[in-house]
């Protein structure tokens, strides 16, 4: 098997886009931990350019990576014991950083959120807040409700990824033949034009039927619309990881997918602007939910299709970036929140402050990674192996192409 460098590049770039998106959250009117005094609607159309599909793409690539990781077990003589060790290793890689992140890394996000948004402000120091945070203090409340602490904030992705991995692992162990049969059926359906049509219809259906009933919470236990869409694409990536017909179809359909993605994005923006202060007709609202699902899959298909077509290879930059992704992901949002809050007194114009905030985030996150990978006891706290050279926090993505 040759390494799928195209998926490595997709994963790295997708996490890079995530950093830019979270910097953008500081400048738009949507609710977030801290807000710029100059927050406006100006960036919101560009945020919507990636909002429907960015995380779904990451779950799909993670599903494919999980399939390649699992497939290596079949070649070992002690497959049963290897399966248990695999789940244990995967749980260690994901859950240790999740717990450490909730206790240490994301706490400043909640602190500055309370400082900026609590009525009357918060006048105690960080250590006092940290003690209240760890004790589950319920008094951080405003008109919109109370802040629940401790929290995983942006690390919800790690929790969801672990749960989906466990579900797939159980299916893989207890029902391997039905899982294989499902994979063959999905591969047959998603060859040719079906690679673009059927996933788009599924995501549109999920959006139409579930999004109004289940608000996006990222709280795991009550987040059913997100589970439906994210587990669907995770399973899709797992089932089709080595289905060449599917990947080749995406490469062939990359231009139609790109056109449909941008056209549906433009339609969504026109819809939001037209009904910013008015109630849309019910039929139109349902139609635009379907358009959202179309946008979601066409963007993913375009990204994966162009990556497959270009087939970018290995180089020093990729070898550095692949293991850096997970630590940078864990650190980046806290860096954004802390830096943004502390830049406010300087009064820097947003057009200058935004790029500066992006540069600070990437620089400090990479600097943090450089320190983490050199300290043995820090490495597992950020998803890296204790010894040896840095390795990817998510499984290597390998395939037969």
pLDDT in tens, 2-48: 678 999 999 999 999 999 999 999 999 999 999 999 999 999 999 99
Taking the C-alpha atoms of residue 146 and residue 235, their distance in angstroms, rounded to an integer, is 35
Confidence band for 75, pLDDT divided at 50, 70 and 90:
low
Determine the average pLDDT of the residues in 226-254: 97
The 8 Å CB, 24+ separation contacts for 359-363 are: 360/335, 361/19, 361/23, 361/332, 361/335, 361/336, 362/19, 362/328
Kindly tell me if the per-residue pLDDT of 119 is higher than 80: yes
Confidence of residue 71 (pLDDT cuts 50, 70, 90): confident
pTM of the model: 0.93
Q: Above 70 in pLDDT, residue 79? A: no
CA torsion, ordered 259, 265, 266, 268, to nearest 10 deg: 140
Please report which confidence band the pLDDT of residue 81 belongs to, taking 50, 70 and 90 as the band edges.
confident
Residue 246 has, within 13 A of its CA and on its CB side, a CA count of: 24
Sign of the torsion formed by the C-alpha atoms of 306, 309, 315 and 318:
positive
- pLDDT tier at 78 (50, 70, 90 boundaries)? low
Q: What is the pLDDT of residues 261-313, one digit of tens each?
A: 999 999 999 999 999 999 999 999 999 999 999 999 999 999 999 999 999 98
Q: So what's the pLDDT on residue 80?
A: 61
Q: Report CA-CA distances (Å) from 272 to 22, 48, 252, 275.
A: 21, 10, 32, 5
Instruction: Name the phi and psi angles at 141, rounded to 5.
Output: -125, 150
HEC per residue, the chain: CEECHHHHHHHHHHHHHHHHHHHHHCCECCCCCCCCCCCECCCHHHHHCCCCCHHHHHHHHHHHHHHHHHHHHHHCCCHHHHHHHHHHHHHHHHHHHHHHHHHHHCHHHHHHHHHHHCCCCCCCCHHHHHHHHHCCCCCCEECCEECCCCCCHHHHHHHHHHHHHHHHHHHHHHCHHHHHHHHHHHHHHCCCCHHHHHHHHHHHHHHHHHCCCCCCCCCCCCCHHHHHHHHHHHHHHHHCCCCHHHHHHHHHCHHHHHHHHHHHHHHHHHHHHHCCCCCCCHHHHHHHHHHHHHHHHHHHHHHHHHHHHHCCCCCHHHHHHHHHHHHHHHHHHHHHHHHHHHHHHHCCCHHHHHHHHHHHHHHHHHHHHHHHCCCCCCHHHHCCCCCCCCCCCCCCCEECC
Q: What is the mean pLDDT of residues 78-107?
A: 91
pLDDT tens digits for 124-146? 999 999 999 999 999 999 888 89
**339 near 29, Cβ under 8 Å?**
no
Which pLDDT score, from 0 to 100, does residue 82 have? Answer: 85
pLDDT at 74: 59
Q: Note the Cα 34 to chain centre separation in Å.
A: 20
- Give 313-352 pLDDT, tens digit per residue: 899 999 999 999 999 999 999 999 999 999 999 999 999 9
What is the per-residue pLDDT for 2?
64
Percent of the chain with pLDDT over 90: 89
β-partners of residue 141 are 146
Averaged pLDDT score across all residues of the chain: 93
- Would you state the pLDDT for residue 391? 39
384 or 79, which is more confident: 384
What φ, ψ does residue 320 adopt, rounded to 5°? -80, -40
Residues 6+ apart with CB under 8 A from 343: 353, 356, 357
Residues paired with 398 in a beta bridge: 3
Give the model's confidence band at 195: pLDDT under 50 very low, under 70 low, under 90 confident, else very high. Answer: very high
Rounded mean pLDDT, 182-199: 96
State the pLDDT confidence band at 396, using cuts at 50, 70 and 90: very low
pLDDT at 397: 39
Q: For the chain, what percent of residues have pLDDT higher than 70?
A: 94
Domain residue limits, the chain: 2-106+152-399
| Structure token pair of residue 213 | 């009933």
């Amino acid at each position: 098997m040759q390494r799928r460098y195209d998926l490595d590049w997709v994963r790295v770039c997708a996490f890079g886009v995530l950093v830019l998106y979270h910097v953008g959250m500081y400048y738009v009117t949507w609710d977030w931990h801290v807000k710029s005094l100059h927050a406006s609607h100006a960036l919101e159309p560009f945020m919507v350019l990636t909002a429907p599909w960015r995380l779904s793409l990451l779950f799909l690539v993670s599903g494919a990576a999980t399939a390649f990781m699992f497939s290596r077990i079949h070649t070992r003589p002690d497959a049963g014991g290897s399966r248990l060790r695999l789940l244990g290793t995967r749980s260690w890689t994901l859950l240790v950083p999740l717990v450490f992140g909730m206790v240490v890394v994301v706490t400043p996000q909640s602190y500055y959120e309370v400082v900026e948004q609590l009525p009357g402000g918060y006048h105690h120091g960080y250590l006092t807040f940290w003690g209240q945070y760890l004790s589950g203090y319920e008094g951080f409340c405003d008109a919109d409700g109370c802040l629940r602490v401790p929290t995983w904030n942006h690390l919800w992705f790690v929790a969801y990824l672990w749960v989906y991995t466990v579900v797939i692992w159980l299916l893989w162990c207890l029902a391997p033949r039905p899982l294989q049969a499902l994979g063959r059926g999905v591969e047959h359906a998603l060859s040719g034009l079906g690679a673009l049509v059927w996933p788009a219809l599924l995501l549109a259906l999920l959006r139409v039927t579930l999004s109004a009933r289940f608000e996006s919470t990222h709280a795991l236990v009550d987040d059913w619309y997100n589970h439906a869409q994210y587990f669907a694409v995770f399973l899709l990536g797992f089932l089709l990881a080595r289905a060449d017909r599917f990947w080749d179809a995406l490469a062939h359909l990359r231009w139609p997918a790109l056109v449909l993605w941008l056209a549906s994005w433009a339609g969504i923006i026109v819809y939001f602007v037209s009904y910013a202060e008015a109630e849309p007709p019910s039929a139109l609202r349902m139609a635009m939910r379907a358009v959202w699902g179309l946008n979601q899959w066409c963007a993913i298909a375009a990204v994966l299709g162009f990556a497959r077509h270009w087939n970018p290879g290995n180089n020093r930059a990729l070898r550095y970036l692949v293991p850096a992704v997970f630590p940078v992901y864990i650190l980046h949002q806290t860096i954004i929140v802390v830096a943004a809050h502390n830049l406010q007194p300087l009064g820097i114009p947003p057009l200058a402050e935004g790029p500066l905030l992006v540069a600070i985030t990437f620089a400090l996150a990479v600097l943090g990674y450089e320190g983490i990978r050199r300290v043995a006891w820090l490495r597992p706290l950020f998803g890296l192996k204790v010894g040896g050279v840095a390795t990817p926090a998510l499984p290597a993505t390998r395939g037969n192409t």
